[in-house]
Amino acid sequence: MMVVATSSFVPYPGPAERLARKGLQALALLLAAGLLHTQASPSARSFQLDYEHNCFRKDGAPFRYISGSIHYARVPRPAWRDRLLKMYLSGLSTVQVYVPWNYHETLPGVYDFTGNRDVEAFLDLTAELGLLVILRPGPYICAEWEMGGLPAWLLWKPDMTLRTSDPAYLAAVDSWLHVLLPKIRPRLYQQGGNIISVQVENEYGSYYACDYGYLRHLLGSFRALLGSEVLLFTTDSAGAQELRCGTLQGLYATVDFGPGSNVTEAFGALRRVEPKGPLVNSEYYTGWLDYWGEAHASTSAAWVARGLEDMLQLGASINMQVVSWQRALLSGVYHRYMFHGGTNFAYWSGADYKDQYKPVTTSYDYDAPLSEAGDPTEKLFAIRTVISKFQPLPVGPMPPATPKYAYGWVALRKYADLLDVLDVLCPSGPIQSQFPLTFEALKQAYGFMVYHTQLPWDVPDPATLGAPPHSICDRGYVMLQKEYQGTLERDGQTTLHVTGRGGDTLDILLENMGRISFGANTSDFKGLLGNLSLNSRPLSNWQIYPLAIDTAVQQGWPQAALPKSSSAGRVGPAFYTGTFETPGIAWDTFVKFPGWSKGLLWINGFNLGRYWSRRGPQQTLFVPGSVLHVGRPNNITVLELEEAPPSPLLLFLDQPLYNRTLGRSTMATE
């Protein structure tokens, strides 16, 4: 049953033109719905808006969904079914799914839909389990994902204006949509599939451009490729400006807010742009993501359950999702939510920007109802209890937490300093350039590049090696004569003092920590964006090495390579290797980095993401059992960037350390 919050209806106060526009929109869709309704036979599959009764209608009957979000790109494929089954058993009827463009179109016109990127296999599983799907194919998704899901190669054209009607951007978007949406169309509800609605863009109202031409273009492309029947919608935070710039005639408007906000007010704001139709909270957030260097966040289960109950009593359709800080601040909420967050493996974590660059941690646990390792939490059971008050739960027990294994201590040994293996990591050799070039200029999307030059003169007294503001993106590990000198950091330390002789080698390893995924400006270029200078005189004559570390590691390096005689030093970027065996079954595990500083971990060639134990709060990385082998050694490769401990050991635990119990929460939960 849909209950309408009529008490929250506030007459639209904005420009009359907009009122007319939205009024026309409602009228147009109402007519369309009526038309479809009269033409449809009783057995026809339909999913529509009912403006008269303020609800959705599925096959003609009033319908409400309770959905949760899951990002297939953050969950190892072997675990997809398990996570979806647990969502189903929690009482969700629907899952909300983002499609990250950059995960699939790896280079312009080069597509990957294999393995973990097989979005169609994921959608098949949702259908098999009887779940409906709300699809959010972007092209921009935010999701705290690298560049909000936009491919870094868009920045190869540095003057491209993202998320606007810039023709170069639209051409890239259209060519992607022509590949993706034909895979989606047969899965639409009206075509016999389980996708009930499709979101266009994401929180566009929070983007500075406010370009209706762009939204109109997307609407046209989505309609052309998906047909006229599918329900297309937008999602924005409940602020007036966001709802003004993020909504468009022909796209049903929904809002996002968390349990701390005033439900009546938030839906009241929605009513101002969407006077009739179902009330939808597309992102109800009750968890919170972690940033490196900040306290671990958590939200109480009781608080989440209470907010959910309020909303269900209002009769709204909701989805449990994530947001970024601006949206949270605007709606007065400090909570975010995923039903199952997962992990930012490899280089996929994004970043936010608030006063400074804030990279997101590798874990995307989010304090969500299903933990990072896919286990039901107290919050899941609290939510399930609330849902059971409104609709029957599916039959069947919730699977218990899967076993985790503490494989214990594993000794590593140093393989080589990074600067000694550039021939392997950059087989095509360096690019010569008078002045530094960005990652994008050299078509390097993620990871690392080395900038190499020589001191142009003798520096007997300490001289300042420095970079202009905002030009170290995002961290630069400085080596003089291959000796580590320290780290330059975006919005942090941007100078070091060095001494040396003319001709001494100077190397800076630049690290991309993830492109900004939300905010006014997503053109987040990486690398050395300005001239490095010595006592204010710009250095020149660079040799730049784009590194293909993952290609090498996936091919078995360095285990398969000849041993390297390397310096015994512990500081500076270097590779460490080791092995461990799994007894019997390859259980999930969590690996801790005691005394290590910052770097990356691969096991059997799989990139498990960044660790940064020195900064925290995350202290362990999740290792899914599916990457481990039974009966033969598992090969570990660590790239430590700053300083390894005197005894290079890893510790495999049976539980994660997010500082959940030690950290203070970022918000008051009471």
Q: Does residue number 617 form part of the binding site for ligand NAG (CB under 6 A)?
A: yes
The whole-angstrom separation of Cα 4 and Cα 16 is 25
Q: Does residue number 456 form part of the binding site for ligand NAG (CB under 6 A)?
A: no
**Residue nearer to ligand NAG on the CB measure, 50 or 524:** 524
Cβ–Cβ < 8 Å for 661, 582 = no
Instruction: Give the Å distances, CA to CA, from 319 to 273, 404, 566.
Output: 20, 30, 53
Exposure pattern of 35-62 as b/e (b: 16+ CB <10 Å)?
eeeeebeeeeebbbbbbeebbbbbeeee
Spell out, one character per residue from 622 to 661, where the chain touches ligand NAG: x when CB under 6 A holds, - when not. -------x--x-xx-----------------------x--
**Residue nearer to ligand NAG on the CB measure, 331 or 634:** 634
Residues in CB range of 214: below 8 A, 6 or more apart: 163, 164, 165, 170, 204
Max CA separation in the chain (angstroms)? 88
What part of residues 263-282 is at the interface with ligand NAG (CB under 6 A)? Answer: 264-265
What part of residues 518-577 is at the interface with ligand NAG (CB under 6 A)? Answer: 521, 523, 525, 530-531, 538, 556, 559-560
**Residue nearer to ligand NAG on the CB measure, 23 or 530:** 530
- Site size for ligand NAG, by CB under 6 A? 26
The whole-angstrom separation of Cα 611 and Cα 292 is 10
What part of residues 208-237 is at the interface with ligand NAG (CB under 6 A)? Answer: 208
Binding residue (CB under 6 A) for ligand NAG from 486, 616, 624, 648: 616
Q: How many CA atoms lie within 13 A of 216 on its CB side?
A: 6
The whole-angstrom separation of Cα 123 and Cα 131 is 9
Instruction: Give the Å distances, CA to CA, from 211 to 17, 256, 480, 520, 571.
Output: 17, 21, 48, 13, 49
Spell out, one character per residue from 105 to 134, where the chain touches ligand NAG: x when CB under 6 A holds, - when not. ------------------------------
In angstroms, give the least distance from the CB of 618 to ligand NAG: 9
The sign one gets for the Cα dihedral 38, 39, 42, 44 is: negative
Q: Does residue number 332 form part of the binding site for ligand NAG (CB under 6 A)?
A: no
**Residue nearer to ligand NAG on the CB measure, 317 or 634:** 634
The whole-angstrom separation of Cα 221 and Cα 226 is 8
In angstroms, give the least distance from the CB of 611 to ligand NAG: 13
**Residue nearer to ligand NAG on the CB measure, 187 or 490:** 490
The whole-angstrom separation of Cα 105 and Cα 509 is 27
In angstroms, give the least distance from the CB of 43 to ligand NAG: 44
In angstroms, give the least distance from the CB of 510 to ligand NAG: 14
In angstroms, give the least distance from the CB of 129 to ligand NAG: 32
**Residue nearer to ligand NAG on the CB measure, 430 or 538:** 538
* DSSP per-residue codes, 220-279: HHHHHHH-SSSEEEEEEESSHHHHHHH-BTTBEEEEE--TTS-HHHHHHHHHHH--SS--
Residues designated as active site: 203, 283
**Residue nearer to ligand NAG on the CB measure, 362 or 619:** 619
Contact positions vs ligand NAG (CB under 6 A): 208, 262, 264-265, 295, 435, 521, 523, 525, 530-531, 538, 556, 559-560, 604, 616-617, 619, 629, 632, 634-635, 659, 662-663
